[in-house]
Amino acid sequence: MTLPFPPREEIARLTARMLLEIKAVHFNAAEPYTYASGLKGPTYIDCRKLISFPRIRSTLMDFLSATVLRDAGFDAFDNIAGGETAGIPFAAFVAERLELPMTYVRKKPKGYGRNARIEGAMTEGQRVLLVEDLTTDGGSKLSFVDAIRETGASCAHTAVIFYYGIFPETTQRLADHGVQLHHLCTWWDVLAEAKTQGFYDQETLAEVESFLTDPRAWQAAHP
């Protein structure tokens, strides 16, 4: 296992550039996107798209694995778990790099058979890393973490490719649940790289920056 350990700033910049190059990033101030919460915003990201770009996918999984090793430790985990559904492929890629078992966590019990939420072999006492594609405010991670802990395993870390980075309560919410967040880049990194590389027009970028600076105020002005 040989992984690159570039500086965090370089990882963030390159990750942002890759997401922009494959058009996983969408900015639209004229017709804002509606999020799962029902609120709106001029930004949208689709990290699932990464699975179709092998060179970029491989580089980002190297970055994510290296980030986790650097931040959490080189012998910190016994099992890599993906959250259904977007986290499953990325957990598999990370598990392969770290040479660890891989499992996945369902959003809710299966409803038949074993009525399981954990698929694969997860055992009591294992130290589990939860891998997902992204996190907005951290809320969805807590249910996955609880399901992992119900097996008797521990889960004190979650790793994502993309972290919104605009809701200050996110890391505290996870910390209150005993979970540390590891990520590659945020909206601020994407905005900076979009400006540098000339993605999108100035008006759109200015509106996106306004949203990122105060998302709640922006949403209140765009009901």
| Positions at the binding site for 5-phospho-alpha-D-ribose 1-diphosphate | 106-107, 110, 132-140
Which 3 state secondary structure label does DSSP give 25? strand
Distance in angstroms (rounded) separating the CA atoms of residues 188 and 25: 12
Distance in angstroms (rounded) separating the CA atoms of residues 21 and 174: 31
Rounded to 5 degrees, φ, ψ at 148 are: -65, -45
Which among 168, 120, 167 is positioned nearest to 148, based on CA atoms? 120
| Residue list for the binding site | 106-107, 110, 132-140
What residue spans of the chain are helical by DSSP H? 8-21, 54-72, 87-98, 139-149, 169-176, 187-197, 202-213, 215-221
| Residue list for the binding site for orotate | 136
Residue type, 189: D
DSSP-assigned states of every residue in 189-222: HHHHHHHHHT-S-HHHHHHHHHHHH-HHHHHHH-
Distance in angstroms (rounded) separating the CA atoms of residues 57 and 16: 13
Q: Packing angle between helix 169-176 and helix 139-149, nearest 10 degrees?
A: 10
